Chains A and B, each alone.
Chain A
Amino acid sequence: MIFLIPIVIVALLVVWAIASYNRLVGLRNQVLNGWRQIDVQLKRRHDLIPNLVNAVRGSMDFERDTLTAVMDARAKAQAATGPADAAQKEGQLSQALGKLFALAENYPTLKSNDNVKMLQEELSSTENKIGFARQFYNDIATKFNTAQQVFPTNIFAGMFGFKPAELFEISDAADRAVPQVDLARH
């Protein structure tokens, strides 16, 4: 009967290894999905912007520069090549939108217009969603990295081709700066 003991131990080890491998696979797929979810929200923002610009164009005649800046930034972001370029262009689009929102505070008629309020809510919600999608991606990537690096899973994680995931980072130092908004009329 004593020869059963090593067999049981080996069986338990195999079960544990399978469970760990499957867990890593599940986490890796969640990380990939999380990355794509960010793109989903960015695309949604691209689609919403023309609506907003048209809604406010009539009232914000004096802010033509800002409106044009937003449309230009959107076009550049849509045409971006590669993730690093996209990250930079999306950051610039966020800044342009931020300026537009701040300037809209100067127009009382705009502030009371329900359509505009709804659009602003949609756009600020989309900004939040982009932020939360990035937050979720970083959270799940951290979980994945930790699962790979703890002992004893780290022994065979590399063997099966699991690589640490990169966390989402700001590439453009300008994104960390405090945004400057000039509310004077030009």
Chain B
Amino acid sequence: MNLFEQQASNRRRTWLVMLAFIAFLFILGFGFDTFYLGTTGGFVPVGSLIALGVGSASAATSYFSGDRAVLLATGAKPIADVEASAADADKLKLKMLDNVVDEIAIAAGLPRPPVYIVPDADPNAFATGRGPGHASIAVTRGLLDALDRDELQGVVAHEMSHIRNLDVRVMTIVAALVGGVALLSDWARRGMWWGGGSRRRGSDREGGGIAGLLFFVVWIVAIMLAPLLAQALAMMVSRRREYLADASGAELTRNPMGLAHALEKIDAAVAPTQAINRGSAHMCIADPLGRQANLREDGFWSNLFASHPPMAARIAALKEMSFQG
């Protein structure tokens, strides 16, 4: 698939997973409202709405607090400060990064985001902020030292694509859904413990019979698995957005191999990035938890809950874009 087809495919798959997620939430909510609240709320799914509301509220606070918190946590410094105290040879590299960000902002037609340097020797980069005009890009010391101009351009293009594709917004919606599912399953399990569910099941649904019983069993299993399933779905969305950012970045530079080479270099440096914590992982170019250092790199379970796709798959997709598959 060329880079435009890959972009379209990734966007489609994001929406499919989101639909599955919402459907999952509705199944949980429907069961919850049926078995616990019965006809108390009329036909309004009170339980589901409250759960979704609380989940959304907590997600919204992180959405609007913006990039400040994440940048502070990583110890990132604005590039101008780093340049002022840098040696001459270093100044050239920093100026190069500055220019590369300018170039990619022109290619994307976006306002230029402020650039930060994270004092970590492991090569990594991330973008924060809820959209163009409110975003920042940060790059670790290790990345700046390891990559040449083309590779740096590829990485910056990937990060700019996260901003352009509003990935913070997508992941915030996903976080709200995860929160909603977690709350519902929590309440359901507590209610079960107190014997709430079985009491109402038989009385309110006449003619439900076998179908009702079957739904109840499926629903119980869903409640038990809900936290795991929600996390797996959320990570599926995160991985799709990473592929999309790769393809969008390639569209900006028209040079997929630049990013491919950068990923190869980043992969070779297996140490985890200490400065970046789990919460900001989805906006990084490489998994900061150093998952690639695990022995069973292609294990099904480790990949299911990974925020980033395996490096080899990303590099293969980029090579396919440049017809070097």
In contact, B108 and A136 (Cβ under 8 angstroms): yes
Residue from A114, A128, A135 with most neighbouring chain B CB atoms (10 Å): A128
Q: Could you tell me the distance between the alpha carbons of A137 and B107 in the complex, rounded to whole angstroms?
A: 9
Residues of B in contact with A, size category: 10 to 19
List residues of chain B with CB within 8 A of the CB of A136: 106-109
Q: Could you tell me the distance between the alpha carbons of A135 and B255 in the complex, rounded to whole angstroms?
A: 13
Q: Which of A69-127 contact B (CB under 8 A)?
A: 114, 117-118, 121-122, 125
Task: Pick 20 A–B contacts, CB within 8 A, sort by A.
Answer: A34-B109, A41-B106, A114-B91, A114-B92, A118-B91, A118-B92, A122-B99, A125-B96, A125-B99, A125-B102, A125-B103, A129-B103, A132-B103, A132-B106, A133-B106, A135-B254, A136-B106, A136-B107, A139-B109, A140-B109
**Residue B89 CB within 8 A of the other chain:** yes
Q: Could you tell me the distance between the alpha carbons of A34 and B102 in the complex, rounded to whole angstroms?
A: 15
Q: Which of A114, A117, A129 contacts B106, CB < 8 Å?
A: A129
Q: Could you tell me the distance between the alpha carbons of A100 and B104 in the complex, rounded to whole angstroms?
A: 26
Q: A37-B106, A128-B103, A133-B106 are in contact. List 13 more A-B contacts (CB 8 A).
A: A114-B89, A117-B92, A118-B95, A121-B92, A121-B96, A122-B95, A122-B99, A125-B103, A129-B103, A132-B103, A132-B107, A135-B107, A136-B109
The distance from the CB of B113 to the nearest CB of chain A, in whole angstroms, is 16
List residues of chain B with CB within 8 A of the CB of A139: 109
**Residue B206 CB within 8 A of the other chain:** no
Q: Which of A135-165 contact B (CB under 8 A)?
A: 135-136, 139-140
Q: Could you tell me the distance between the alpha carbons of A114 and B90 in the complex, rounded to whole angstroms?
A: 11
Q: Could you tell me the distance between the alpha carbons of A30 and B109 in the complex, rounded to whole angstroms?
A: 9
**Residue B81 CB within 8 A of the other chain:** no
For the complex of A and B, list the 9 residue pairs with the smallest distance between their C-beta atoms, beginning with the closest: A125-B99, A132-B107, A132-B106, A128-B103, A114-B88, A136-B109, A132-B103, A133-B106, A129-B103
List residues of chain A with CB within 8 A of the CB of B104: 132
Q: Could you tell me the distance between the alpha carbons of A37 and B109 in the complex, rounded to whole angstroms?
A: 10
Q: Could you tell me the distance between the alpha carbons of A121 and B104 in the complex, rounded to whole angstroms?
A: 16
- Smallest CB gap from B153: residue in A: A128
Residue from B92, B106, B107 with most neighbouring chain A CB atoms (10 Å): B106
Identify whether the interface residues of A are mostly helix, strand, loop, or mixed: helix
Q: Could you tell me the distance between the alpha carbons of A37 and B102 in the complex, rounded to whole angstroms?
A: 13
The distance from the CB of A29 to the nearest CB of chain B, in whole angstroms, is 12
Q: Could you tell me the distance between the alpha carbons of A118 and B89 in the complex, rounded to whole angstroms?
A: 10
Q: Could you tell me the distance between the alpha carbons of A114 and B95 in the complex, rounded to whole angstroms?
A: 12
Q: Could you tell me the distance between the alpha carbons of A32 and B102 in the complex, rounded to whole angstroms?
A: 20
In contact, A121 and B95 (Cβ under 8 angstroms): yes
Q: Could you tell me the distance between the alpha carbons of A122 and B89 in the complex, rounded to whole angstroms?
A: 15
Q: Could you tell me the distance between the alpha carbons of A143 and B103 in the complex, rounded to whole angstroms?
A: 21
A-contact 0/1 string along B243-280, CB 8 Å cutoff = 00000000000100000000000000000000000000
Q: Could you tell me the distance between the alpha carbons of A83 and B286 in the complex, rounded to whole angstroms?
A: 44
- Smallest CB gap from B98: residue in A: A125
List residues of chain B with CB within 8 A of the CB of A129: 102-103, 106
- Smallest CB gap from B100: residue in A: A125
Q: Could you tell me the distance between the alpha carbons of A128 and B255 in the complex, rounded to whole angstroms?
A: 13
List residues of chain B with CB within 8 A of the CB of A30: 109
List residues of chain B with CB within 8 A of the CB of A125: 96, 99-100, 102-103
Q: Could you tell me the distance between the alpha carbons of A129 and B96 in the complex, rounded to whole angstroms?
A: 13
The distance from the CB of A10 to the nearest CB of chain B, in whole angstroms, is 30
Q: Could you tell me the distance between the alpha carbons of A34 and B109 in the complex, rounded to whole angstroms?
A: 8
Q: Could you tell me the distance between the alpha carbons of A140 and B92 in the complex, rounded to whole angstroms?
A: 32
- Smallest CB gap from B105: residue in A: A132
Q: Could you tell me the distance between the alpha carbons of A176 and B177 in the complex, rounded to whole angstroms?
A: 53
List residues of chain A with CB within 8 A of the CB of B100: 125
The distance from the CB of B133 to the nearest CB of chain A, in whole angstroms, is 15
The distance from the CB of B206 to the nearest CB of chain A, in whole angstroms, is 33
Q: Could you tell me the distance between the alpha carbons of A133 and B102 in the complex, rounded to whole angstroms?
A: 11
- Smallest CB gap from A140: residue in B: B109
List residues of chain B with CB within 8 A of the CB of A118: 91-92, 95
List residues of chain A with CB within 8 A of the CB of B106: 37, 41, 129, 132-133, 136
Q: Could you tell me the distance between the alpha carbons of A140 and B107 in the complex, rounded to whole angstroms?
A: 10
List residues of chain B with CB within 8 A of the CB of A128: 99, 103
Residue from B91, B109, B254 with most neighbouring chain A CB atoms (10 Å): B109
List residues of chain A with CB within 8 A of the CB of B102: 125, 129
A-contact 0/1 string along B87-130, CB 8 Å cutoff = 01101100110011011101111000000000000000000000
- Smallest CB gap from A125: residue in B: B99
Q: Could you tell me the distance between the alpha carbons of A122 and B96 in the complex, rounded to whole angstroms?
A: 8
